[in-house]
Amino acid sequence: MKKSIIFSSFVAASLTAGLTSCSDVEYPDTPNAPKAENVTSDVDGRSVSLTWTLPQGKDIKGVQILRDGVVVATIEGPATSYSDRRATPGTDVRYTVKIMYADGTVSEGITVHMDIISTEKACLLLPCEMPELTDDDEIYAANWFTQEYGDNGVVMTPADVNKITVKDNPVVWINIDREGLPMGWRNLPEKLVAPEVLDALRDYIDAGGHVYLTKHATQMTVPLGFLDEQFAPRLYASGAGGEGSDIWTMNCNIGLIYDHYDSPLFAGLTTCDVFTHPTIPLIGPGWREDHNC
């Protein structure tokens, strides 16, 4: 194993009305500019929904949303709602709503406070029930997951895929690691890549869910819609392996372009300097299967 890939559907916030810009600049308040009214909030797990009413008879350019004093969205037009799906659990969060007017004035912010309490569980999606696993690496990974996450994790199979939700399972881990497995997503366990399973996973991703693919499961980047078939991962091996003295690592900086080291998935992990950029050490010297993917 020299490289694994994290592919995520990044949805920081979705809007029920209007568009957002990428601006992170907070517009200064204008004295006496009419403020948002009836600002309310609703929390469902890590999802926060804000609603408000707009001042009547005003030419409104847009609405700016701040979370704990930091701009998270600038909505164009007379929007009256905003949703944030990735609030941090176990925190007291402040959301502020400002109204922007066509004449350049900006209202003072109206702020609401809420506690984010989450019952989320990380999900390990296996191709079969745990006792039916035959590859030693897949067995070890499944055992590690259940021991590491305990009550904060859940193990599911393709038969359970419709139970996976963004609210309850923000991250789904799929790990396939088998000696002699041919390259290509169609060669993965049949139940795992069945049409109904792929459809459910695509819907989950579109709704804001994150899928973490490791080892041979990175081939699923094609049917899940992350990559076209012609760009499917080609760094692939499933050989028996042998003895080695170097360190095998996981690279989260794909092609030195897509850098995912800031993902919470990798928080607190040790990095090493085997390459010119940081990677995460996984396997040290000794016997290693040649499962480069």
pLDDT tens per residue across span 237-254: 888 888 999 998 888 876
SS3 of residue 255 by DSSP: coil
pLDDT at 25: 62
φ/ψ of residue 167, rounded to 5: -60, -45
Confidence of residue 139 (pLDDT cuts 50, 70, 90): very high
Q: Which residues contact 112 (CB under 8 A, 6 or more apart)?
A: 39, 40, 41, 50, 94, 95
Helix, strand, coil: what percent of the chain each, to 5?
Answer: 20, 35, 45
pLDDT at 255: 65
Long-range contacts at 125-129 (CB < 8 A, ≥ 24 apart): 125/156, 125/157, 125/158, 125/161, 125/164, 125/172, 125/173, 125/174, 125/192, 126/155, 126/156, 126/157, 127/157, 127/158, 127/176, 127/188, 127/189, 127/191, 127/192, 128/157, 128/189, 128/191, 129/157
pLDDT at 193: 97
Averaged over 55-78, what is the pLDDT? 93
pLDDT at 256: 63
pLDDT at 151: 87
pLDDT, the chain, mean? 85
pTM (two decimals): 0.57
Q: Are 70 and 93 in contact (CB under 8 A)?
A: no
> What is the residue whose two structure tokens read 């897949």?
138
What angle (nearest 5°) sits at the alpha carbon of residue 66, between those of residues 65 and 69? 165
* Residue (of 132, 231, 253, 139) closest to 185 by Cα position: 231
Q: What domains can be seen in the chain, in order of their start residue?
A: 5-10+120-290 (no CATH), 13-116 (2.60.40.10)
Confidence of residue 276 (pLDDT cuts 50, 70, 90): confident
Is the pLDDT at 4 greater than 70? The verdict is: no
Is the pLDDT at 138 greater than 50? The verdict is: yes
Amino acid (one-letter) located at 288: R
CA distances to 17, 65, 87, 120 from 112, rounded to whole Å, are 20, 11, 14, 24
CA distances to 128, 137, 229 from 191, rounded to whole Å, are 8, 19, 20
Structure tokens at 184: 């290509």
Structure tokens at 98: 């400002």
pLDDT tens per residue across span 142-199: 999 999 999 889 999 999 999 999 888 989 999 999 988 999 999 999 999 999 999 9
Q: Which residues pair with 272 in a beta bridge?
A: 279
Q: Are 72 and 6 in contact (CB under 8 A)?
A: no
pLDDT tens per residue across span 81-124: 999 977 777 788 999 999 999 999 999 999 999 887 767 899 99
